[in-house]
């Protein structure tokens, strides 16, 4: 007997964090909702992080997922930007964890490889595959489609992921 699992995927960002909720029943995926949280760039870092945390917490409260998946941080040459992204990612990990969800983490390459078939897929390819796999999906930007891709990745990889609550 298959069990339906509701998953929230989160694409962390300091300016905009995308989230997407799907249900997975074996190989059958269903779109539930998606959106994004923005932070006010004229506010201090602590207040921007608070906005991200509150927005993602609200998405978790409203859609009641059982599991969460978050993209791992992509490290770039700008150390300051990487640190700020890491702090936003901390909010993306904390929000579902505080609600008792199991939280898994996936690298950008694994997400792309799982959804598109190649670890170096472009944004347009990811969006097209998300539309193909979730025909009822409605998203306005790549943050939402990336979050849905993260949820799809988790649906396919969850049997291999370390899903223990620590």
Please check whether residue 59 is in contact with residue 96, taking contact to mean a CB–CB distance below 8 angstroms.
no
Strand pairing report for 16-25 and 28-38: antiparallel
Beta-carbon count within 10 A of 153 CB: 25
Active site residue 143: yes
The predicted model gives 149-166 an average pLDDT of: 77
Continuous H helices in the chain: 45-63, 79-98, 108-115, 123-133, 142-157
**What SS3 class is residue 68?**
strand
Amino acid 164: pLDDT: 46
Residue 146 φ/ψ, nearest 5 degrees: -65, -40
Confidence class for position 162, pLDDT limits 50, 70, 90: low
Active site residue 23: no
- Per residue in 48-79, pLDDT (tens digit) is 999 999 999 999 999 999 999 999 977 777 88
In the structure encoding, which two tokens stand for residue 109, read together? 């390459």
Confidence class for position 17, pLDDT limits 50, 70, 90: very high
Active site residue 11: yes
Amino acid 14: pLDDT: 94
Catalytic residue among 105, 143, 144, 146: 143
Nearest residue to 150 via CA among 79, 74, 72: 72
- Per residue in 89-132, pLDDT (tens digit) is 999 999 999 999 999 999 999 999 999 998 889 999 999 999 99
Catalytic residue among 67, 71, 105, 146: 71
Give CA–CA dist 118/101, Å, rounded.
29
Catalytic residue among 11, 67, 144, 146: 11
In this prediction the pTM is 0.92
């Amino acid at each position: 007997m298959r069990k339906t699992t509701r998953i929230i995927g989160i694409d962390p960002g300091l300016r905009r964090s995308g989230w997407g909720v799907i249900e997975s029943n074996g190989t059958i995926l269903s779109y539930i909702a998606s959106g994004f949280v923005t932070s006010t760039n004229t506010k201090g870092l602590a207040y921007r992080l608070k906005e991200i945390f509150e927005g993602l917490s609200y998405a978790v409260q409203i859609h009641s997922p059982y599991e969460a998946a978050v993209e791992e941080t992509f490290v770039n040459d700008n150390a300051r930007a990487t640190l700020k992204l890491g702090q936003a990612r901390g909010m993306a990990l904390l929000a579902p964890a505080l609600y008792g969800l199991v939280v898994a983490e996936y690298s950008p390459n694994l997400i792309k490889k799982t959804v598109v078939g190649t670890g170096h897929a472009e944004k347009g390819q990811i969006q097209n595959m998300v539309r193909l796999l979730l025909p009822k999906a409605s998203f306005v930007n790549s943050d939402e489609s990336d979050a849905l891709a993260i949820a799809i990745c988790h649906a396919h990889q969850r049997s291999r992921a370390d899903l223990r609550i620590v």
